[in-house]
Every structure is written in structure tokens, then in C-alpha cells.
Amino acid sequence: MRQLCNRKMRGKKLRKSKSPKLYCNPQLKGHCVRVYTTKPKKPNSATRKIAKVFLSVRKYVTVYIPGQGHSLQQHSTILVRGGRVKDLPGVHYRAIRGKEDFLGRETFVRRQRRSKYSIKKGQD
């Protein structure tokens, strides 16, 4: 009955970060090492655009490129945030549109959900 004495109390559970290579930063800058496409997991079918990025903290991560159309290539600078892509294994980070070399405009006219892609109401 005396497993938890006062000198050795039960320890607090540590919460593991879902984006550990950001080191508690909300975003980090990095440059693209390789930009390529890949296919998602079993029930889904598409070609997802992803990039291998070398972060400013000298770590490599795989980053998802959101939206339709991009002009990223090798040595492009991008801003990276956390947030995994469910159907791509190992992709736990996303690129932020409209920052650095990653242009905010997409290659088509978007009418819904403009604010996430920083397109004003009068621009479409």
C-alpha cells in the first residue's frame, strides 16, 4: 500500500511533439534540396507534390506543397510549419504559401477558402 511515498511521487507525463524538428518554433526557414511527386496510401489515388528541405537548424525534413500549382525548384527558399499529411507516410510538415520563394497565387481561380491562400475577395 506504500508504493507512492512522498519522496518518490508519480511523475508527470511528458507530451511528445508532433513536429520535433521545428524545435518548438512555429515556423522555420529552409531551402529545397529536391522537389518531386509521390503517391498517397492505399484507398487514395493522386500525385502529391512534396519537397525535401534543409532547414536553418541544419536538419532535413519532407515538406508537403499545398494548393494547385507551384514554381518551386532546387535551392528555392520556403517557410515551413508543422502539420502532417494523413495519406503520405513520413510527411509531417507543410510549406507556407506567399512567403519567401513560394508564391501565394495558384494557377486557377479559387472562389472558396481564399483566406488560407491570402487571395483577397476582389482578386478572383
The answer to whether the Cα torsion of 25, 23, 29, 82 is positive or negative is negative
Distance of alpha carbon 91 from alpha carbon 55, whole angstroms: 15
Q: How large is the average pLDDT for residues 8-18?
A: 86
pTM for the predicted model, two decimal places: 0.80
pLDDT tens digit sequence for 61-101: 999 999 888 999 999 999 999 999 999 999 999 999 989 99
3-state secondary structure 3-23: CCCCCCCCCCCCCCCCCHHHC
pLDDT tens digit sequence for 39-63: 999 999 999 999 999 999 999 999 9
The values of phi and psi at residue 18, to 5°, are: -85, -15
Closest CA to 30 of 63, 53, 62, 50: 53
Please state which architecture CATH assigns to domain 20-105.
Beta Barrel (2.40)
